[in-house]
Amino acid sequence: MHTSPSPMQNNLLAALPAAEFASLSVGLELISMAVGDVLYEAGVRQQFVYFPTSAVVSQLYVLEDGVSAEIAAVGHEGVVGISLFMGGDTTPNRAVVQSAGFAYRLKGQLLKVEFDRAGPLLRVLLRYTQALITQMTQTAICNLHHTVEQQLCRWLLLSLDRLSSDAVNITQQRIANVLGVRRERVTEAAGNLQRAGLICYSRGAIVVLDRPGLEKVVCECYVVIQKEFTRLLSSIPFQ
């Protein structure tokens, strides 16, 4: 049974006190997101921020030769478009929908008005930004020092944290693009995890069969990211 979309399914919106949410909610627009939708391109002025509820958005850094790698994933725990309230308006990465679903869109100017009040919204967004920076830096370290198999485990677990099922619909080529490696290395890593009974991989989908087992073999990067999100966002003081 599918749950109807609600702004309260986004953790940041749900964390706001009632009065602040009411002020913001008049500008929220529910949108449907399809896999591959581009929310913004590198260097292009951003007009909106997006609060996902069931969609997952991948933030990718793309080199001049077309090679890309994911620097962060955003789901119901966060917001896409931090440059708008951090003062940059543009960013050198692009945002692409990784998993289809819903999100609430808000005009950047409306967000800035509320952000500049220096109230609860500002504290929520700054805490989220610190957690997001942790994810970005830990991902960079992981890509440099850990095996493709460990990177795949980290990516799968972070994806599951943002989805309502144990399945991730994605092709090997898209995983390769996300991790910034060759497709053959993804095939090898996925094969190892499948033979270990941790996942079941079929064309275009990965089903996690043993999440506790996956958590045992993943590198420490996943735990660092998870703990920082929990520490910063589980309880936000508004006084």
In a domain, 132, yes or no: yes
Regarding whether 200 and 176 lie in a shared domain, the answer is: yes
Say if 43 falls within a structural domain: yes
Same domain, yes or no: 197 and 126: no
Domain identity same for 132 and 153:
no
Q: Which pLDDT does position 115 carry in this prediction?
A: 87
CATH number at residue 59: 2.60.120.10
8 Å CB contact between 58 and 73: yes
> Residue 224 falls within a domain, yes or no?
no
List, as one string, the DSSP characters of 133-176: HHHHHHHHHHHHHS-HHHHHHHHHHHHHHTSSSSEE---HHHHH
Does residue 72 lie within any of the structural domains?
Answer: yes
- Domain end residue (candidates: 109, 142, 175): 142
Provide the domain count of the chain.
2
Residues 181 and 128 in one domain: no
Instruction: Tell whether 42 and 101 lie within a shared domain.
Output: yes
Q: pLDDT tens, 75-104?
A: 999 999 998 888 877 888 899 999 999 999
Would you state the pLDDT for residue 236? Answer: 67
Let me know if residue 235 belongs to a domain: no
Q: What is the pTM of this model?
A: 0.92
pLDDT tens for the chain, 239 residues long, are 457 889 999 999 999 999 899 989 999 999 999 999 999 988 888 899 999 999 999 999 887 777 778 999 999 999 999 988 888 778 888 999 999 999 999 998 899 888 888 788 999 999 999 999 999 999 999 988 999 999 999 999 999 999 988 888 888 888 998 888 999 999 999 999 999 999 998 878 899 999 999 999 999 999 999 999 998 887 765 54
> Which residue range forms the structural domain that includes residue 209?
147-218
The three state secondary structure string of 57-89 is: EEEEEECCCCCEEEEEEECCCCCECCHHHHCCC
